[in-house]
Amino acid sequence: SRAILGEETLALNNFAHLNSMDDLLPLAAESQRRYELAEPLSALDGVPVAIKANFCRTNSLTTSASSMLSNYRPPFTATAVSRLEAAGAIIMGSTNMDEFGMGSLTSSSVHGPSVSSLPYLPHLSPAPPSAPPSVPRLSPGGSSGGSASSVALRSSFLSLGTDTGGSVRLPAAFCGVAGFKPGYGEISRFGVIQYASSLDTVGVFTPEAGDARLAYEVLRGGCKNDETSSSLFPSSPLPPPAPSLSSVKIGIPLAYSIDECLPAVKASWASAASSLEAAGASLVHLGDDRMSEHAVQQSLAAYYVVACAEAASNLSKYDGVRFGSRERDPEASFFEEIENTRAKHFGKAVRERIATGNEVLSKEGSHYQNANGVRGDVRDAFTRCFEVADVLVMPAQVGLPPEVGKGEEVSVGLANDLMTCGVSLAGMPAIVVPVKGGQGIGVQLVANVGNEGLLLDVATKLE
């Protein structure tokens, strides 16, 4: 499989691990046979798929891009992955990401940073990718950067990502592909290495929004192994695509027009709104009484308190004894050994979040509870928007993709998170679609809980 992808593609470091051709070829042959019999299992039969490195797959290395899990081969497969396999999709390998999903650039990975394929695409066809030296090495965004970039390059035609606070949406914007995260609980998280359990959502990258619908049909639905799966309640089929947007109200939450946002991003936002209006939708401007600037700014603080607190709790099991790589030292006491293990096998970003999480959980009248109060306010703000609008259109980012190795400062990630993490706190479905000609700029559409079908419909009208 390395030979098929080619060394130049592999140099982008979008993959953490590739499955061997010995595994892939029999699957491809079976799929071909099904097509010959005109009996494909689904629209995804035979489609090459990549999965983020935090999805467990039986006996496959599942590192979550951490030294802590560098040798972890799970004894089970994530529900999302087994549904893809049952639909005939062929799992090519696992994609690079920020360690445990913590980051916005796919730079904090034990596998090294990923590079976005987007600037290389014009050089791709018909020859294999050959990048003139002038092509900038840009970040694919994160944390699911490898998944987004591999779809942009068509190394895979569909990939799985996870979105805790924007990790599907920002890379989709940076890499020029569609990135869809349904509402919280709509796709089972069973077998996904946790970051922050009340926010973690499985999402998909596809070349276009229409393909995201095909993937979602396969992935959604009840899972007895994830008790937060909303599909415990039988999920109704997605409504058929609507022929027109004439009855759809598109809300523009003006509070997201923040100073940090680049003029090019604001211009794409405005042009997406005009395109939807031209497609027949009506536009509604949403002021401070529905979504306030205060709610937008507070969502970032609340997100980081909640995410770090839950991360500290989720990652406490990696002590080298119960789970994870172990740093053995006959001279050290048991607790020193655990301390050394965690110091050595967690990267800096992860250690910082665990420390922050333990701090916010340890205070009297915990910050975690306050942050959950703010979370309720943010959810209320979105709910007020959906009283007068069906789908919101807003930016997915504040800036353009930085060069790899630059823009590692915390502020770059945080500014972009401002556009995505409020939606995560509210648990709403959202999709980012690339803006034509806007290299590395996407626009975000958000719908109310349960309205994934309408959201995907509207998104296809932007393509």
CB of 161 to ligand GLN, least distance (A): 9
Question: Which parts of 197-226 interact with ligand GLN (CB under 6 A)?
Answer: none
**Gyration radius (Cα) of the chain, Å:** 21
Shortest distance (Å) from residue 194 CB to ligand GLN: 11
- Answer yes or no whether residue 180 interacts with ligand GLN by CB under 6 A: no
Which listed range, 80-88, 96-104, 246-254, 366-374, lies at the site for ligand GLN (CB under 6 A)? 96-104
- Nearest CA among 338, 319, 253 for reference residue 288: 253
| Of residues 47 and 306, the one with the C-beta less far from ligand GLN | 306
Which is nearer to ligand GLN, 120 or 303 (by Cβ)?
Answer: 303
Q: What values do phi and psi take at 344, rounded to 5?
A: -80, -40
* Residue number, 425 or 443, with CB nearest to ligand GLN: 425
For ligand GLN, the binding residue among 146, 165, 191, 422 (CB under 6 A) is 165
Active-site position among 167, 188, 229, 299: 167
Q: What is the DSSP letter of 120?
A: G
- Measure the CA–CA gap between 325 and 407, rounded to whole angstroms: 30
Could you tell me if 191 and 55 are in contact, meaning their C-beta atoms sit under 8 angstroms apart?
yes
Distance CA 84, CA 106 (A): 24
Question: Which of 52, 66, 108, 268 is an active site residue?
Answer: 52
How does strand 48-52 pair with strand 282-286?
Answer: unpaired
Query: Does the annotation mark 143 as catalytic?
Result: yes
Q: Contact between 166 and ligand GLN (CB under 6 A)?
A: yes
Q: Is 102 in the site for ligand GLN (CB under 6 A)?
A: yes
Q: How does strand 201-206 pair with strand 178-181? A: antiparallel
Nearer of residues 120 and 190 to ligand GLN, judged by Cβ: 190
DSSP string, 396-423: S-SSPPPBTTS--SHHHHHHHHHHHHHH
Size of the site for ligand GLN (CB under 6 A): 14
Rounded-to-integer distance, Cα 178 and Cα 172, Å:
6
Stretch that binds ligand GLN, among 158-166, 273-281, 292-300, 364-372 (CB under 6 A): 158-166
CB 308, min distance to ligand GLN, A: 8
Amino acid at 24: L
Binding segment for ligand GLN (CB under 6 A), chosen from 80-88, 159-167, 261-269, 382-390, is: 159-167
Residue 159 CA to residue 144 CA, distance in Å, equals: 10
163 binds ligand GLN (CB under 6 A): yes
Q: How far is the CB of 390 from ligand GLN (least distance, A)?
A: 25
End-to-end C-alpha distance for the chain, whole angstroms: 32
| Nearest residue to 4 (alpha-carbon basis) of 13, 18, 159 | 18
Where do the H-state alpha helices sit in 221-314?
A: 263-278, 293-314
Task: Tell the smallest beta-carbon distance from residue 235 to ligand GLN (Å).
Answer: 24
Nearer to ligand GLN, 101 or 434 (CB): 101
Those residues with Cβ within 8 angstroms of residue 52's Cβ, 6 or more apart along the chain or in another chain: 94, 95, 97, 144, 146, 147, 159, 160, 161, 162
Comparing CB distances to ligand GLN, the nearer of 174 and 195 is 195
Residue 195 binding ligand GLN, by CB under 6 A: yes
CB 333, min distance to ligand GLN, A: 34
Q: Is the separation of the CB atoms in 121 and 154 below 8 Å?
A: no
Candidate list 48, 145, 413, 429; residue touching ligand GLN; CB under 6 A = 413
Cα torsion angle, 256, 270, 407, 348, sign: positive
- Per-residue exposure over 277-308, b if at least 16 CB sit within 10 Å of its own CB, e if not: eebebeebebeeebbbeebbebbbebbbbbbb
Nearer to ligand GLN, 46 or 141 (CB): 141
Binder among 104, 109, 156, 188 for ligand GLN (CB under 6 A): 104
Q: Is 167 in the site for ligand GLN (CB under 6 A)?
A: yes
Minimum separation from the CB atom of position 227 to ligand GLN (A): 21
Q: Does 307 bind ligand GLN (CB under 6 A)?
A: yes
Q: Is 103 in the site for ligand GLN (CB under 6 A)?
A: yes
Tokens of 111: 């596998």
Mark the segment that binds ligand GLN (CB under 6 A) among 162-170, 327-335, 425-433, 443-451.
Answer: 162-170
Residue nearest to ligand GLN (CB): 167
Q: Are strands 391-395 and 430-434 parallel, antiparallel or unpaired?
A: unpaired
Active-site residue 266, yes or no? no
Considering the complex, what minimum distance in angstroms separates the CB of residue 298 from ligand GLN? 16
Verify whether residue 167 is a known catalytic residue.
Answer: yes
Which residue is catalytic, options 66, 117, 139, 143? 143
Catalytic site positions:
52, 143, 167
Binding site for ligand GLN (CB under 6 A): 101-104, 143, 163-167, 195, 307, 413, 417
